[in-house]
Structure formats: C-alpha cells, structure tokens
Structure 1
Amino acid sequence: QRDLRKVLDHRDKVYEQLATYLQLKNVIERLQEAKHSELYMQVDLGCNFFVDTVVSDTSRIYVALGYGFFLELTLAEALKFIDRKSTLLTELSNSLTKDSMNIKAHIHMLLEGLRELQGLQNFPEPESHH
C-alpha cells in the first residue's frame, strides 16, 4: 500500500503541474487576444506578499523549464512548449494511473488469497475412520 500511496502522490503532483501549465496557456492566449503592449499585474514575492508591477513588453515570456532554469520565449513559442509539456505530463499521468491500477489489482489478489486461506483454516479437519 505504500507503493500505491507513492504512485498516487506522484500522479497528484503531475496533475498540479499540468494544471499550472494549462493556466499559463490560458493567460498567454488572453494576452494574445488583448494585444496590449503593457500589462499591470501583481506578483507574489513569496508567503503571499504581493507587489504591483508593470510589464512593459508582453511579447515575450520567461518559462520555467525545471531545475531552476528559465527560457525567454515568444508567446507563440511558449504555447508550443506548453502543448508539448502538457502532452508529456498527460502521458505520465496515464502511466501512473495504470501503475496504480496494477498495484490495486495485486493488493486485491493478495487479499482474496488470504481470505481463501483463512476460509480453509476455519473448516474442521476431516476425521480419519479406521
């Protein structure tokens, strides 16, 4: 069951990443539709401490690649990156779901085996007639 918990926790983290990328995609699409050169927004500096800021050029965006690396992309490039990343994360979540189903099936099989063994032990031993 610990393996199952690990797989499900990993899948939940993948779902969170996927949701973040889809949210970013939505923001980028709205930026493209609005066609504003400047953007007024609030930035979270950490611990829910927000500051007002102005983004003077909305044609490019920095995307977190992971491991502390960021890449400056055009909005169109960022959308392509998000689509690829979303596809990979979806495949990973599907794989983790499959793994969790296999683990659940093994647990179920073991429990059924234990029930059968317990059921056999409950029957009285046959008496031998001499």
Structure 2
Amino acid sequence: MLPALCEILKHRKCNLQCLGSVSCSATTQQWADFFLALEVNQSLTCINLSNNELLDEGAKLLYTTLKHPKCLLQRLSLENCHLAEANCKDLAAILVVSQELMHLCLAENPPLRDTGMKFLCQGLSYPECKLQTLVL
C-alpha cells in the first residue's frame, strides 16, 4: 500500500491535506520512501500514523522528515506506535525547529517515564515551539 501512496504524494497535482495510514505494516525502506514523499508534498498538513510499529529506524526517518524546512505538517498522531522514552529526545528537538506542528498525539505508547517527559518539557519550553496540543 505504501509504495502506491508514495507515488500519489509525489505527484505535483496531489492536493491531499489529511492522510490516515493506520495499522499499516511496512518495511523500514517503505517508511523511508513514504517520509521522503512527505518532504516533496506541499499540501499535506495532517497525518495519522496510529497503530503502526515504526521501530527506532522508522521513527528516526520520521524525525528527519519533520525537521525538513519544507515539511508543513500541522497535526501528527503517533498513537500506539510503540514509541519509547528515548524517542522523546528526538521529538523535543522537533518541537523546537518545526514552524508548523501544532498538534501531536503520543497516546497509548509505552510509559514515557520521567526522562521522556523531561525531554518533552524542554522542547515545549522554547519560545520557538508552536505546539498547541500535546496528547499523552
């Protein structure tokens, strides 16, 4: 499913604004292609990736995409994506550099614990952080 979706997202006439890819089993390479397509697409502002097992490699690829200056995502749901406490450091960095991200859902992930929450709070404390809604 993801390879076909990537081609659609890369098409210059694609005006899709909201995308849900829930419970999609994909390889790391398919995630890499998908996240690259997000960098190309200039209309997508909302993505729901709930119930996907991104694992560390997929999560790192996502974070790289979110840091890209052409990434226009405003809403991102990573509910039940098996994110761990360590992922919060990367997410905190996203909160500082993303000029668009306003809603982030991290519900139903393993406990983020004190360390994960400290990282997120650090990201939220920066004046550059535009996030308005954080769902835990």
**Greater percentage in helix:** 1
Same fold by TM-score greater than 0.5: no
TM-score (norm 2): 0.20
Higher strand share: 1
**Rg bigger for which structure?**
1
